[in-house]
A and B are shown apart, each in its own frame.
Chain A
Amino acid sequence: QGAPIRWRMQTYAGAALGEHVVKPAIDMFNEIADGQMQIELYYADQIVPTSELFRAMQSGTIDAVQSDDDSMASPTEVTVFGGYFPFASRYSLDVPVLFNQYGLKQIWEEEYAKVGVQHISAGAWDPCHFATKDPIRSLKDLEGKRVFTFPTAGRFLAQFGVVPVQLPWEDIQVALQTGELDGIAWSGITEDYTVGWADVTKYFLTNNISGAWIGHFFANQAKWDAVPERLKTLMKVCFEQSHYYRQWWYWGGEADLRVNGPKLELTSIPDAEWATVEEKARLFWDEIAAESETKAKVVEIFKTYNAVMDKAGRPYRYG
């Protein structure tokens, strides 16, 4: 048994959220690895700013990363699909199905191999809702709102008058208090409560622009290759475990907090009106598909998948 392997992993999440979305899995890994390998976990911007995260992993400053492709601006063809690609999925179970049964996993692995990064696994997070200081009851209410959101979601939402703003994740709560932001379109209600955003916003919009976030674990290729097979397997299992944790944590949390959460008032945009957003999303898909072959392939997969789900009917899709 040689010297222990030490990895630094940085997640996109701040400490409060990381407590749920990643820490349990890392603790478990460290415990089972029993001194042969140790992953040290760092939170949002702790070692390098999120905008430099990809490069830092590629060049070995950080050994591993948990993030969506979009927020860490991976230089790949699949980056726009990470995070929240508008209306690509309805439920969090859609994500593992898309990756494992519909071929996204292979595409991601190939794309990241091209840039010297190991794609370890993809998992789902929560749906993307608005939490705001003023109520949103129609599309018109979105106009001029400065909102913290994902790059691609921001690009999509800009056509409705939303003003997307990028700030370090940990600064969001304060930015809402100091008036830099009017709201967030970043997460579901579980996260709003967990990270304190529910304390500084008042309203929660029940319509969402995506049913599940797509995020991943990645590693620097050379570092990954240097890990013994047994530990690689262990790592994969622990990361899968983290995906599983999030499946029930968010799924249960979303329902519970809508019904029992004391801090946010729920509002909705009528379905008919929201349908225009969904239509715009299809146009957005085509726009993206036109950008490259790989992108077209991914969009095609989304289309196929959603068509199957629609045909399958309840409980997969309700009209």
Chain B
Amino acid sequence: MPYEMIALLMFGGMMILLLTGQRVFAVIGFVASVAALALWGGGGSALPFTSAIKLMNWYPMLTLPMFVWMGYVMSESRMADDLYRMFHVWFGPVPGGLAIGTILLMVLISAMNGLSVAGLAIGATIALPELLKRGYDKRMVTGIIQGGSSLGILVPPSVVLVLYSMIARQPVGHLWLAGVVPGLMMAGLFILYVVVRCRINPALGPALPAEDRTVPAAEKLRLLSAGLLPVGIFAAMMGPFVYGWTSLVEASVVGAVVATLAALVRGRLTRKVFDTCMVQTLAVSCMFMWIILAALAFGAVFDGLGAVRAIEGLFLRDMGLSPWTILILMQLSFLIMGMFLDDTAMLVIVAPLYVPLVAKLDLGMAPGDALIWYGILYTITCQIAYITPPFGYNLFLMRAMAPDHVTLADIYRSITPIVLLMLLTLVIVMMFPQIALWLPHLVYAR
């Protein structure tokens, strides 16, 4: 069978089966297994299992449950409440201020967890009800919570970047640092967006009424200290790692332990909270691992059947495209796949194709730099994938957690401006790679 045909069958089959709503990992694994049995020619049946061993050997994956755990400890123990109050008190008086505070809250939470689910949980349960009570526009705020929480994968620590680092063979430290400035920039754009909209129409984000504003200065200062906690956890984890005293995996454990201790000391780690964190961490880790395992099998079969070569030939030879066109096409394909597919699955499946290609493209920078920068571009497309229908993690969660009068239609509409801002970030970072590369170069300058 021609390679093009195999590629088409495998991808097409996967897309169609996904539409049936069967579990994503099962669909990917099923297509991989069928292709292996039908087309490999002897021994193909071993591939799904060997993917489990491959996954086991991926040492940095050990960080996954740690970073997930950290996030849940933050959200379930409601340690973010004080944080939220801090922003509330400090930004409340400004029109749109609570929304701005929420974005900043999302940034801080992003610095303490590797995914975005915990951020979304905090946003949807703590910030959202408060914002709605204060008369904030529901579409604007559900949008920024979804968008803001997705910063969890761009601002370090980031599980997505850990996975990317393993696949692209680039150091996680560089990748994480590369995500910092684009992440802050994106947050800045969100804030700008809120400010502009509230300037135009103050009714979207009314300032706090006078009686709510009179908070004693001492209390204001005390609340400011709430912000120290995340900064402290972040520093305890990232500092030693960036300086090379702890390895990546060790850093994740340090982060998990410090976050747990913080919750314990504050007396927030009740039995119930503890149990929820345990169950959620298991659930999210299992979901992740099984999708990766299935995607690894899919990737190995796809590659072994020669389909990767077919597509590579298409990109490099047959179409004679310029490096930038190829790059843009890749991003477009990520955006489209991201609408329908889990981000890790799309990475594991297409990376064997894209990563070597990016390293080969003549983009006017060292291959290592190109791959780090590309990792950030990829992560931003993942953020978009998280909030775009039909398949978006943050969308799912928002749907499950939003108060009743925020309808599904509201949620879907809320994301349009956010997606546009993310695309804008993507374009800016594409045009100016230094935005991503500046910080890692600075810190890791030899």
Given contacts A59-B46, A61-B43, A61-B44, contact A49 B54 (CB under 8 A): yes
Assembly CA distance A62 to B44 (angstroms):
9
Q: Does A23 contact B (CB under 8 A)?
A: no
A173-B169, A174-B172, A178-B247 are known contacts. Are A61 and B57 too (CB-CB below 8 A)?
no
- Residues of chain B lying within 8 A (CB to CB) of residue A174: 165-166, 169-172
Q: Which of A27-79 contact B (CB under 8 A)?
A: 40, 42, 45-49, 51-52, 55-56, 59-62
Binds B, one of A164-172, A229-237, A267-275, A298-306: A164-172
Count of residues in A whose CB is under 8 Å from the partner chain: 28
Q: Which residue of B lies closest to A53 (CB)?
A: B50
A177 within 8 A of B: yes
- A56 touching B166 in the complex, CB below 8 Å, given contacts A42-B304, A179-B247: no
In-complex Cβ contact of A47 among B57, B165, B172, B303 (8 A): B303
Proximity bits, B45-77, A CB within 8 Å = 1, else 0: 011001001100111100000000000000000
Contacts known (A8-B304, A167-B59, A170-B169); A45 close to B244, Cβ less than 8 A: no
Q: Once the chains bind, are A56 and B50 in contact (CB under 8 Å)?
A: yes
Q: In which size bucket is the chain B interface? A: 35 or more
- Looking at the assembled complex, report how far the CB atom of B27 sits from the nearest CB atom of chain A, in whole angstroms: 22
B246 within 8 A of partner (CB): yes
Give the nearest-CB partner of B444 in chain A: A177
0/1 interface trace, chain B 23-44, chain A, CB 8 Å (1 if under): 0000000000000000010111
| A47 close to B304 (CB less than 8 A) | yes
Contact: B249 with A180, CB < 8 Å?
yes
Secondary structure call for the B interface: helix
Give A166's nearest chain B residue, CB to CB.
Answer: B57
Contact indicator A177/B304 (Cβ below 8 Å):
no
Q: How many A-B residue pairs have CB under 8 A?
A: 80
Closest chain B residue to A51, Cβ basis: B53
Whether B171 pairs with A48 at a CB distance below 8 angstroms is: no
Min Cβ gap A232→B in Å is: 19
- Which A residues between 177 and 224 are near B, CB-CB below 8 angstroms? 177-180
Cα separation A46 to B44 with both chains bound (whole Å): 14
Question: In the assembled complex, how far is the CB of residue B18 from the closest CB belonging to chain A, in whole angstroms?
Answer: 25
B173 touches A178 (CB 8 A): yes
Residue numbers in A under 8 Å from B352 (CB-CB): 46
Chain A residues with CB under 8 Å of B249's CB are 180
Q: How far apart sit A46 and B166, CA to CA, in the bound complex (Å)?
A: 13
Complexed CA–CA distance, A167 and B304 (Å): 23
The reply to whether the CB of B323 lies closer than 8 angstroms to some CB of chain A is no
* B347 CB within 8 Å of chain A: no
Checking A52, A60, A170, A178 against B50 with a beta-carbon cut-off of 8 angstroms, the contacting residue is A52
Contacts of A61 in B (CB 8 A): 40, 42-44, 46-47, 50
A175 to B166, CA, bound (A): 10
Residues of chain A within 8 A of B59, CB atoms compared:
167, 171, 175, 180
The residues of A that contact B54 with a CB separation of less than 8 Å are: 45, 48-49
* CB atoms of A56 and B165 under 8 A apart: no
A–B Cβ pairs within 8 angstroms, 6 of them: A61-B43, A61-B47, A170-B169, A174-B169, A179-B245, A180-B59
